[in-house]
Structure 1
Amino acid sequence: MLKLTFLGTSSGVPTIRRNVTALAVHTSLNRDWWLVDCGEATQHQLQRIALTVHDLVGICITHIHGDHCYGLPGLLASASMTGRKQPLILVAPAAVKAWLDATLLHTELFLTFDIIHVDVAAGSQVHRQDGLLIERFPLSHRVPSYAFRFTFEQTRWKVDHDALRARGVPPGPAWGRLQHGQDVQLDDGSVLAAADFRTLHRERAVAVIGGDNDAPQLLAAACQGADVLVHEATYTEATLQKVGPGPQHSSAQRVAQFAAAAGVPTLVLTHFSPRYDNREGMAELEAEARRHFSGKLLLAKDLETYDI
């Protein structure tokens, strides 16, 4: 039901194999999708996958640092030049909106669609629509930074295939009518009541996607009932100790320890320092995380989609 497609997984600067931060959040329900962060060249990455800017519902920016938002004006410009008309939701710090407005003004960029800005600092619930709730949670970084919790829900009727076969009703139009709540009369004159052969099923998927953050424990409430946590692991713990507290990033160890304590079933690490962008470096990060987390562990790669 829930799909995560990474458009950038490097921190700070891009590498040959990794662009800077951007993540597409989408489902199998429809073509709508959301973007979390929009690092430089995100629009180039979109050329290599099936998602399009015309189906993009909204963009959530975790914080003002450039590797998380410098791709925003270019992506919006391209959307406009290719004929987008529908409004776009932008959940972002006020400073990002002010910078975007200045960029539009001073580069004479006139968009063909409206931007609906939601100040990420204004409240915990930033968006709600049928089947989707997006909430934000404050993190700890050099500037105000946030995580976003996406809760997708779908309710649908399912027919009891085994019961219908046992009743002698093969797959066909009758199944479809029962699925839609219509009673069905069989050739022998008997009637199958839809209420006897269908049940209501609720499907729910929750993803927590963090911005830059040196205190994973701040996500304890956000991760309750979550299916997946996506969190930066910029360094190994040893490197983090050498770098010191200034950058305010997390290590693979600290994130893994938190995910284990929070009972999150799936952990996806991303936002890796370029120093690890080789086989040995990624193996080091993975080994450190696996020492502390026994659930499903993924180290994100650019342009890969993960089904949750």
Structure 2
Amino acid sequence: MKNSNNMLHFTFLGTSSGVPTLTRNVSGLAIRNSKNKDWILVDAGEGTQHRIQQAKLALQSLVAICITHVHGDHCYGLVGLLASAGMNARTAPLTIIAPKQIQQWIEVTAQLTDLHLPYPLNFIDVNEAAQIQQITDELSIQAHPLSHRVPSFAFSIIAQNTQKKLDTQALIQLGIPKGKAWGDLQQGQNIQFNGETLKATDFIQLQTKRVHTIVGGDNNRPELLAQACQDAQLLIHESTYTQAILDKVGSGPMHSSAKMVAEFAQHQNLSNLILTHFSPRHQDNTGQQAIAEEVKTFYTGNFYLAHDFDQFSLDETGQLTKIEKY
């Protein structure tokens, strides 16, 4: 199932809004760099660490946690998850990008419950993450403000890798035989050929490949992501209600309907869209069909409605593929 040029791999850990249901947990999304085991967690609703175990993700390989906003269905599982990582003997630092209140909550909870983490937390206030944060050599994160009852954010997750490509045509034209000489050049070593020194730098081309996904928190104004979406290949956004139900519920909860997100994605010419964070009233087959029909009415691109444990991959060509379960 693995494609050699996959760059980001997504596992939905929770797709329900507000409360967990029998088939869906509250918000959590794992995003893995497919070149290795490094992964980022966006939101950690209650029960997320159990979902992580079921999805066979290793807390040791977790490099960053992003919390979109302080509402409990997006963060109540965070402290337990941090404690479990400590009990699993984690020692590597862990980056957390979140509202300042999340840091205060972790500190107070640690104090009141005698929690001592054996690894350092590198806490970045989400308001300061408007600049790109480099998490690993290949993964970086950037925050974008949204509109909700409390400050809420979306995160750009960017995977970028640079590959060295040997200019084989030039080597063939010069008559340099395949084998050790090619290998040495590929490794960056100069070689001797017909009494001349050939520099590796003259025969190596650097190719940078980049994949950009945006994961939104709760938000009633998708258009706030217009600039961020300009070079994104995928938007993952909440779609709590259909438009008809949102009209009934009113503007108080400050959520998006499927119609709002679909119209925005169409307007932005986004090629891929995944909707999540469904109200319990839209989680049965009829409810999901109503959401899907609404999206189809306003958006002509490639879209999915996420279920818990759904997995997707996004490659550098912008191709989004759902990975069928074995």
TM-score between the two structures when normalised by the length of structure 1: 0.91
From 79, 86, 93, give the equivalent of 2:85.
Answer: 79
CA contact (8 A) 1:120 1:126 kept: no
**What secondary structure is seen at the aligned counterpart in 1 of 2:84?**
helix
Shift of 1:299: 1.3
From 219, 225, 228, give the equivalent of 2:234.
Answer: 228
Matches within 5 A, 1:1-308: 1-125=7-131, 127-129=133-135, 130-159=137-166, 175-182=182-189, 194=200, 198-308=204-314
**Residues of 1 paired with 2:302 and 2:201: CA distance?**
39
In percent, how many aligned pairs have the same letter?
A: 48
**What secondary structure is seen at the aligned counterpart in 2 of 1:224?**
helix
C-alpha distance 239-179 of structure 1, shift in aligned 2 (>3 A): same
Shift of 1:114: 1.5
Shift of 1:179: 2.5
Gaps of 5+ in 2: 1-6, 315-326
1:84 maps to a residue whose letter is: R
**What secondary structure is seen at the aligned counterpart in 2 of 1:303?**
coil
**Residues of 1 paired with 2:73 and 2:85: CA distance?**
20
Gaps of 5+ in 1: none
**What secondary structure is seen at the aligned counterpart in 2 of 1:287?**
helix
**How many residues were matched structurally?**
306
Per-residue CA shift, 1:8-63, capped at 9, x if unaligned?
11111112221110111221222211111001111101112232111111111000
CA contact (8 A) 2:97 2:129 kept: no
Per-residue CA shift, 1:134-167, capped at 9, x if unaligned?
2111111011101111222211112356777897
Shift of 1:197: 5.3
**Residues of 2 paired with 1:244 and 1:214: CA distance?**
11
More divergent stretch after superposition (222-231 vs 100-109): 100-109
**Residues of 2 paired with 1:48 and 1:184: CA distance?**
51
Shift of 1:278: 1.7
Match of 2:317 in 1: none
**What secondary structure is seen at the aligned counterpart in 1 of 2:54?**
coil
More divergent stretch after superposition (217-226 vs 21-30): 21-30
Shift of 1:244: 0.6
Shift of 1:220: 0.7
2:110 maps to a residue whose letter is: L
**Residues of 2 paired with 1:192 and 1:289: CA distance?**
57
More divergent stretch after superposition (208-217 vs 8-17): 8-17
More divergent stretch after superposition (5-14 vs 156-165): 156-165
TM-score between the two structures when normalised by the length of structure 2: 0.86
CA contact (8 A) 1:18 1:302 kept: yes
